[in-house]
């Protein structure tokens, strides 16, 4: 074996820390250490040793070509404190996830609004409070926004609809009030999902929502009222509609059914009236249906053509209505 090869082998075996070049950008390392030092009990960040390459640190992702930090994912830990302003110095960050951090408090700082390369932002299952900040509209590259399971309050900023690449919004399980902004009818793209459940939102749905071909819309467990039929259009490709546990009142018999795409439909616990549209039996992909606790009447349609269900929907899908009848409920009277 050549002497140079032996020397390399010696270095790799006895000095492994010197075997690889430090890819980490110095400014990124300084910033990450500031972030670590801003938290108490950062057990998940123990690998963040300044003597080591930050691109090899746990929960950090670097770009393979530029070596800039592009991902930071901190999950399931007891770190305490608030989101530090230093995060804004990670100027190439594309993915920021702070999830299941029950001791994370404070508000969403303006520093987040400076991360203009963000594609995905998740701050969920924390004790973050305050408003959903309007400065999030600065994140023009954002495709995914998840602020669920926090203590956020106030109204939904209309400016979120100005994000040109947004494909998904989750604001569920907060303390939000007010109505859905009219501007959400101009949400860009297609196959969008909007999840706003378990809040204190109210008012009528803006008619502009009829312009959006949602993949998923879940506005359940709020205080919405009025007509929700704007969400039902046979020409759309929606897979999931959940408007349950609100105060909606409209004629369900006029609702358009997305027969080719609908998988989940829950309109339960409202004041919806009329018949169940017969077209619903053509929804071959339908796997979950709940129309209970409404004011529906007429015969439950028969002749379901399920593609993935082995049996028809049972009693619990239809009970507690004004005068629905037919299997699986009581037979209709002559």
Q: Is the peptide bond before 328 cis (omega within 30 degrees of 0)?
A: yes
Cα gap 215→19, rounded to integer Å: 49
* Tokens standing for residue 35: 């972030």
Whose tokens are 């890819």? That residue is: 23
Cα gap 93→113, rounded to integer Å: 12
Cα gap 226→243, rounded to integer Å: 12
Q: Which domains does the chain have, with CATH numbers?
A: 23-176 (3.80.10.10), 179-333 (3.80.10.10)
Comparing CA positions, the residue from 243, 288, 234, 242 lying closest to residue 261 is 234
Comparing CA positions, the residue from 234, 240, 242 lying closest to residue 260 is 234
What pLDDT tens digit does each residue of the chain (334 aa) get?
A: 444 333 334 433 444 443 346 899 999 999 999 999 999 877 889 999 999 999 999 999 999 999 999 999 999 989 999 999 999 999 999 999 999 999 999 999 999 999 999 999 999 999 999 999 999 999 999 999 999 999 999 999 999 999 999 999 999 999 999 999 999 999 986 789 999 999 999 999 999 999 999 999 999 999 999 999 999 999 999 999 999 999 999 999 999 999 999 999 999 999 999 999 999 999 999 999 999 999 999 999 999 999 999 899 999 999 999 999 999 999 998 8
Cα gap 23→3, rounded to integer Å: 28
Cα gap 197→269, rounded to integer Å: 14
Q: Whole-model pTM?
A: 0.91
């Amino acid at each position: 074996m050549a002497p140079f090869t032996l020397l390399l082998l010696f270095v790799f075996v006895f000095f492994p820390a010197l075997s690889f070049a430090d890819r980490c950008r110095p400014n990124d390392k300084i910033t990450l250490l500031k972030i670590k030092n801003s938290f108490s009990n950062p057990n998940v960040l123990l690998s963040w040793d300044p003597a080591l390459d930050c691109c090899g640190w746990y929960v950090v992702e670097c770009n393979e070509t530029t070596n800039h930090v592009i991902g930071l994912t901190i999950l399931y830990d007891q770190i305490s404190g608030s989101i530090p302003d230093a995060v804004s110095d990670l100027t190439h960050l594309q993915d920021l996830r702070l999830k299941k951090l029950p001791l994370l408090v404070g508000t969403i700082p303006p520093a987040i609004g400076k991360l203009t390369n963000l594609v995905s932002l998740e701050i969920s299952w924390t004790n973050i409070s305050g408003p959903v900040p309007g400065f999030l509209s600065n994140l023009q590259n954002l495709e995914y926004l998840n602020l669920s399971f926090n203590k956020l309050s106030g109204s939904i900023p209309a400016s979120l609809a100005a994000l040109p690449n947004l494909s998904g919004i989750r604001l569920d399980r907060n303390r939000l009030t007010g109505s859905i902004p009219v501007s959400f009818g101009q949400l860009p793209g297609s196959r969008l999902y909007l999840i706003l459940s378990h809040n204190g939102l109210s008012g009528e749905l803006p008619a502009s929502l009829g312009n959006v071909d949602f993949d998923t819309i879940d506005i359940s467990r709020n205080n919405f009222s009025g007509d929700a039929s704007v969400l039902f259009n046979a020409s759309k490709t929606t897979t999931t509609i959940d408007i349950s546990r609100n105060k909606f009142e409209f004629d369900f018999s006029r609702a358009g059914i997305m027969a080719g795409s609908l998988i989940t439909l829950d309109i339960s616990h409202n004041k919806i009236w009329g018949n169940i549209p017969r077209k619903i039996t053509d929804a071959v992909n339908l796997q979950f249906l709940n129309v209970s606790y409404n004011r529906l009447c007429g015969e439950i349609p028969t002749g379901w053509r399920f593609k993935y269900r082995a049996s028809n929907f049972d009693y619990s899908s239809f009970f507690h209505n004004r005068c629905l009848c037919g299997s699986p409920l009581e037979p209709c009277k002559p």
